[in-house]
Amino acid sequence: MKRATITLIIFTLLSGTTKAINKGKTAVSKDTIFTPASVLKIMKRVGDWQLQSWKTDGFKHKKTDWTNGALYTGLFALGQTSGDEKYDKALIDIGNDVNWNTGSNRLLADDYCVGQTYSLLYIKYKQPKMIGPFKQQADSIASLPFNESLEWKNNIQKREWAWCDALFMGPTALAYLSTATGDLKYLDKAAGLWWKTTDYLYDPQAHLYSRDGSYLNKKEKNGEKVFWSRGNGWVLAGLARVIENMPANYPGRQKFVDQFKDMAAKIASLQQPDGSWHASLLDPDSYPIKETSGTGFYCYAILWGINHGILNKSQFLPVVKKAWIAMVTSVQPDGMLGYVQPIGGSPDKVTEQSNEVYGTGAFLLAGAQLYEYIGKHKGKL
């Protein structure tokens, strides 16, 4: 690469313009993006873009929707990382607007994804109203047998965690409520249902999840099984967040840790040369552009594993460094994160302009873990 090109790239990053160049293949220097100030700066740019988007255009989805539920986790992490109360205030305002209720379908995991952020806010502010309605709902969930087959028919997703995305939505909400209340019955239910879904959708040879029962035998163009990037990103991020709420001596915790390590190793092996994971994990050539929601959840979960001593730093740190570069170079000058696959249930195409709120949430979760890591290691990466 010519010296002029390198100079232009460095200038672009230093000026704060991190728009993707050549579809994420931009060469960047660790000195420009792997510092606490730089990580926090781009996190705030992305988070502030989202807040401004709400002010300008309103909410694209219901405030209790799973899409926003995933975003709220990232905004909470940004508030913790930055110390800026405006992010908590935005979340508290949303909670007050919906009277701290979840979605209308009481057993659909998507509809109570927001519960994890309600619990996090309660842990911080100790206002009972923040978890009151969800606790009543979770009491009901904890009492039910959940004994139906997970076959993808008869709207089973409204009654069981029958699709892999649910493992970010449901068990995390119950696990954080256990931490908030000190009552392990919610975590116990989350753990039991986690393994029910896993027994049905997890391929132990591939170390990956099918999206739901309808994908168990589907194949990509290259003949490989269909394993969706964001779907498995939901799972790996969900694993991290469930384990985070397990006491060190919790029965069965090691089984979760073992699965987390197995999946993380598999995911790392599937990273593409551009640092991202494409929409299809085993047929990336059919979707040759980076996809930032799956990439964001992988970057978050792997960094969380490093920060908690579960994953080996020397093995996994190069993975997250490349992933962070892929994400940073997907942020446009105004703070919008591009290359986020739209709502769906299988691999699909993305563009530089593709954005959804859950992608923003994943980016912020990853940034918070990266900031924590750099802080622990005195600015060294």
- List the catalytic residues: 165
Helices 66-82 + 85-97 axis angle, to 10: 150
Give CA–CA dist 311/322, Å, rounded.
17
**DSSP bridge partners of 337:** 331
Give CA–CA dist 375/372, Å, rounded.
5
| Cα distance between the two ends of the chain | 25
Give CA–CA dist 50/205, Å, rounded.
39
Instruction: Count helices and strands (H / E) in the chain.
Output: 14, 4
DSSP string, 52-105: HHHHHH--SS-TTSHHHHHHHHHHHHHHHHH--HHHHHHHHHHHHHTTT---S-
